[in-house]
Structure 1
């Protein structure tokens, strides 16, 4: 009744997937820019304030999103899904 079991090798992934929950330079830069743009836009809709500030705020928010994407592509953000980040100093 005993089973003949052979030991199977266990394969581990090359690296653990990133778990920083978006706490990256790219994410912080983009979100601060979007918040600043929203603040400028909200001031732009107040009575007595030029409405052009609304559009300036939207441009700031859009620019912040572009900067966030550029920073991510430069390596300052969370890696894209399926891409294994290279570890510095790894001899393997």
Structure 2
């Protein structure tokens, strides 16, 4: 059984591991792209509609909310393919225009 008392830990310092960071830095926009915002808010709206439909037992409105969520995924994919996502041409141009943010 290991001695895990405070006195033992004070006399025997633990060693820490070195942290190795990835070779490239993360993008400066932290994922705040047009594609990400549109996808997130449309899914939030669809989820809210679907949740209210469950609370009020309106089946058709639930499926409308699910459809809105799926439309949000499609819209995000389309915007990303148009260059408005992470690393896209439109996002990089906007970053350059606004000084990297």
Q: TM-score range by the shorter chain?
A: 0.5 to 0.7
Equivalents in 2 of 1:39, 1:77: separation in Å?
A: 25
Deviations 1:22-80 (A, max 9, x none): 10000000000000000000111123x52111111011011101100110110111027
Residue ranges of structure 2 left out of the alignment (5+ in a row): 1-24, 97-101
**TM, length-normalised to structure 2:** 0.58
* Match 2:73 to one of 53, 56, 65: 65
| Residue 62 of structure 2 corresponds to residue 54 of structure 1 | yes
Q: How many residues align?
A: 68
Stretches of 4+ aligned residues off by more than 2 angstroms: 16-19, 85-88
**TM, length-normalised to structure 1:** 0.63
* Match 1:27 to one of 24, 27, 36: 36
**More helix by percentage:** 2
